[in-house]
Chains A and B, each alone.
Chain A
């Protein structure tokens, strides 16, 4: 499948159910878009330009994925900025934030500019997350101010935690002064050690070196204490355990400025999936227990978990076609996220459409202090088009991503995005 980016002169979305909880909008109507602006929301009778029939379809504010690994520069055989953006668009995302653990890491202005420039002409807005420390080495802070000016949307040493408490304190103080969050990958390395899966019954069965829940929770607790102390803007990436949800909930109730994300795979899979040693179920943090999964869903529902991000982590075939212990951590997620969440949470009434929009469109922008994206007349047209009823089968050979590593091959899903509109451009995928 080749992505076709169309320039929008004017386009009419006909008979769509338009939903945006930010403006309390949920009605079946038409949207007229001219260039990159929403001209009108309401019935349009006479129209000669391009019309997209949206009967029984839903139009929502363009989705954003705030945790993507684009692999450029350094590992372009896995993904590039452009293929990553194509994959995002195919998965219904109009914006994404990409993590700085490239080779070399994004840790100075020119690196940030490089990413921005690569994505310049794409429909998808790319917001680089820059490293907290130079080379992500956990020692010296990066020039955050300079990088924000160039377009950095936040700071993270993702792939690893911010190494020490002292460093986390300084990073939070400094980034918060500049109005951007520090995003932490919560993992106590001394506890996770050489672990490759969740420590629990399945790891006991498989005899595999394991990562206990407390490896995540200890750093979550540390970060929450530091955030409370410094009043810093803290965002916790890919939360996977019940204990972490509990800690965050409790911190939020005390007014700590923390936000948290989880990923579709933690919501639809558990460590049971690791039986059989499928390397496509290897990620960090690892797939956890059923109880963890239940608590994550509860956390999403009660607002403890603010956003669902994919942690899209492309890897080459040889990085996964090997022994489990040797295999790379991570799976791709851009092109399955919506379908998985729709099928396994919205259809099962665990999440409402409005909540999905908040988690996958509204909150990521708030967390990264980006301009809001509302469906309003006169506002920029930044939209995702959803077909809520379509039945489809996951097929990674048809993916836009350069990599194919994910465990959802042949899954039957219901609900898929079929188009995105942003920056005066439109991509329709049927």
Chain B
């Protein structure tokens, strides 16, 4: 895999998350009934930052949920390796809540489909909105993000590599080629 270019640096990521946070607050008229749910393995870190930002803006703490979608993947039967299960950790009852699902990259839409199935098994939310840092296109399912950090047109043999400080030691986004 070879890096083609850097799409975002640390500052870009912070700015984008700030904007996304404002959009979320604006669209939902504040923090009432809001729950931010990050999809493991990077969406959860992004979700946490959004919550911190909301605290700064609104002075209120919104519940954070972390979702592991492994058990809901539609390609499960084709995996050679069994993914290590991570905890799905959503302490609040999500029924009648407004869920903001957060992930790093939106691509085929399958992850989001799995995530929604997983959430439905946990309760009946009032609504689910989707926030992503990068939308790289190539959807295979009718999924659309409500909040997009950056649209990056890609070809199929390219990939978006998101690095997040909490997981990877730095904040950067690259376009890489297989």
A–B in direct contact per CB < 8 Å: no
**Which residues of A come within 8 Å of B, CB atoms?**
none
**Which residues of B come within 8 Å of A, CB atoms?**
none
